[in-house]
Every structure is written in C-alpha cells, then in structure tokens.
Amino acid sequence: MLAEETPAVPWTTWALRVTATLFLLMTLAQGLLAGLFVTGDVDLLPVHSAVGGILSVVALVQLVFAVMEFRAHRRAGRPATWQLSTLSTLVLVMTAGQIGLGMARVVAPHVFIGVTTAALAMLVLLVVLTDARPAPADAPALAGEAR
C-alpha cells in the first residue's frame, strides 16, 4: 500500500511557525528578566531593553510573513482569513507600546500589557500551529460525504 501524499507545508507557514515560537519564547524571557530586575538585579534592565528592541523586529517580521501567508492561501485557492495578519498587527502594536511605556518608566501598564502580550503570543502560536495547515487533497470529497 502506497503512502498517501499530503501537500507540502508552504515556506511562509514554516516562517510563521518559527517567528511565532521565537516571539513567544522571547516574551516569556522578558517576564523573567523583568522579575529578576524587580527583585534587585538592576544590571538586567539593559538586557530587558535590548530584548524588547529585538522583539519589535521579530513582531514586524511575523506580520510580513502573516500577510505573505494570506496572499499565498488566496493564490492557491485555499480559504484565507485575516486572523493571523490581525493578530500579528496587534502583537506589533502592543510591542511598540511596550517600548514606549518602558522608556517612560510607566511600570503598571507596562507590566499589564507585557502579560497580555505573552498571552497573545501564545494565541498567535496556537493559531499558526492549527490554522496554517494545508488542506488535505481529498477535503472536498470528504465534505460531500458528510452531508
């Protein structure tokens, strides 16, 4: 019996998986760095700041890949939604806001939005891992059988 061929995962999907994972891990690291800073290790503030700057670049790259993924789905005739692009835009806006709040030393909203950003990063990764899959070749046939 021959193995059933499945469509290859597009490179944009892999790029989204990588950037979403990287963003989530870096966001969680930010929480750790902030906690260590608050407990007295003041030398970690420049590291926290540097990671925040890198996070903004990762968020921008993630948004570009999300838009490319949307366009690739449309070109291939697969259902495409703006869900990943919208979430990625929100991630970028929140990250930019975080940088502004952090530089202004407005701590309470900075911490709140940081926690919210980490939760959003988890949601983005979940969506990337579940929704950014190629549809099986026989999906229309199966949908017709279910009626």
Q: What is the 3-state secondary structure (H, E, C) of 29-84?
A: HHHHHHHHHHCCCHHHHHHHHHHHHHHHHHHHHHHHHHHHHHHHHHHCCCCCCCHH
List the pLDDT tens digit at each of the 147 positions of the chain: 455 555 667 888 899 999 999 999 999 999 999 999 889 888 999 999 999 999 999 999 999 999 998 888 888 887 777 889 999 999 999 999 999 999 999 999 999 999 999 999 999 999 999 874 555 554 554 455 454
32 touches 47 (CB < 8 A): no
pTM: 0.81
State whether residue 103 is helix, strand or coil: helix
pLDDT of residue 121: 96
pLDDT of residue 6: 54
- The rounded distance, in Å, linking the Cα atoms of 38 and 105 is 13
Q: Is 9 left (phi over 0), alpha (psi -120 to 50) or beta?
A: beta
User: Residue 21's pLDDT is what?
Assistant: 97
Residue 26, CB half-sphere, CA atoms under 13 Å: how many? Answer: 21
Read off the tokens for 97.
């806001």
List C-alpha distances in Å: 77 to 70, 71, 80, 110, 143.
Answer: 11, 10, 8, 42, 17
